[in-house]
């Protein structure tokens, strides 16, 4: 599939080309959104919003080679906006969870990579996700997040240090 050609067709108004392009990257967008919003329904909402925004604004994309980067940045922004919006929603108190059928699990067994990632800042989480889940280079990460290359590296190494520390703490609890 020639991405650049499809992007150019989509920019000229070819709806089928846009649909083909978006479907090609849909799973990547979903995974990125899920890392942030942590549930299927919200991640699907983010994918839908990204599809809408991308379709409406495809003509603003200057370089077709950066289509995936453009979508990824849009997914991160949309996910963060959804999280901000949801912070205004009153959450159910944990002591009432037993009344809605939440299953209890052994706390030691529930420590996963996802939970370790949750202990990172949004910026650290973005960089770790883009680097290791999506396979972006430091240069691409710096472009997506609009930060200097050195800053992207520093944040990643700081985040990895925090992850190691939290992993060791979790490991010693067992």
CA distance 36 to 32: 7
pLDDT band at 56 (very low <50, low <70, confident <90, very high): very high
Residue 34 has pLDDT above 60, yes or no: yes
Do 123 and 148 form a contact (C-beta atoms < 8 A)? Answer: no
pLDDT band at 112 (very low <50, low <70, confident <90, very high): low
CA distance 23 to 1: 12
How many residues does the structure list for the chain? 174
Residue 52 has pLDDT above 90, yes or no: yes
Do 100 and 91 form a contact (C-beta atoms < 8 A)? Answer: no
Give mean pLDDT, residues 5-26: 92
What DSSP character marks residue 92? P
**pLDDT confidence of residue 21:** 92
Q: Which residues of 116-127 are buried (b: 16+ CB within 10 A; e: fewer)?
A: bbeebeeebbbb
pLDDT band at 93 (very low <50, low <70, confident <90, very high): very low
Set out the domains of the chain in order of their start, with CATH numbers.
Answer: 1-88 (1.10.1740.10), 110-174 (1.10.10.10)
Give mean pLDDT, residues 111-118: 69
Q: Of 43-57, 83-97, 109-123, which range is least confident?
A: 83-97
Give mean pLDDT, residues 130-137: 83
Give mean pLDDT, residues 134-143: 86
**pLDDT confidence of residue 173:** 56
pLDDT band at 113 (very low <50, low <70, confident <90, very high): low
**Distance in angstroms between the alpha carbons of the first and the last residue of the chain:** 49
CA distance 128 to 153: 10
Q: pTM here?
A: 0.63
For 134-147, give the secondary structure using H, E and C.
CCCCHHHHHHHHCC
Give mean pLDDT, residues 111-136: 80
């Amino acid at each position: 599939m020639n991405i650049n050609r499809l992007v150019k067709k989509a920019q000229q108004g070819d709806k089928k080309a846009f649909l083909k392009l978006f479907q090609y990257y849909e799973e990547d967008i979903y995974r990125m959104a899920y890392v942030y919003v942590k549930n299927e329904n919200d991640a699907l909402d983010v994918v839908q919003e990204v599809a809408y925004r991308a379709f409406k604004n495809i003509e603003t994309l200057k370089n077709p080679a950066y289509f995936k980067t453009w979508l990824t940045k849009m997914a991160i922004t949309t996910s963060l906006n959804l999280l901000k919006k949801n912070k205004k929603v009153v959450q159910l108190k944990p002591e009432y969870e037993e009344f809605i059928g939440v299953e209890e699990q052994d706390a030691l067994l529930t420590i996963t990579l996802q939970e370790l990632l949750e202990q990172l800042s949004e910026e650290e989480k973005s960089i770790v996700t883009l680097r290791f889940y999506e396979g972006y280079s430091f240069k691409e990460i710096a472009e997506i997040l609009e930060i200097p290359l050195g800053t992207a590296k520093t944040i990643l190494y700081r985040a990895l240090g925090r992850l190691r520390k939290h992993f060791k703490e979790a490991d010693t609890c067992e």
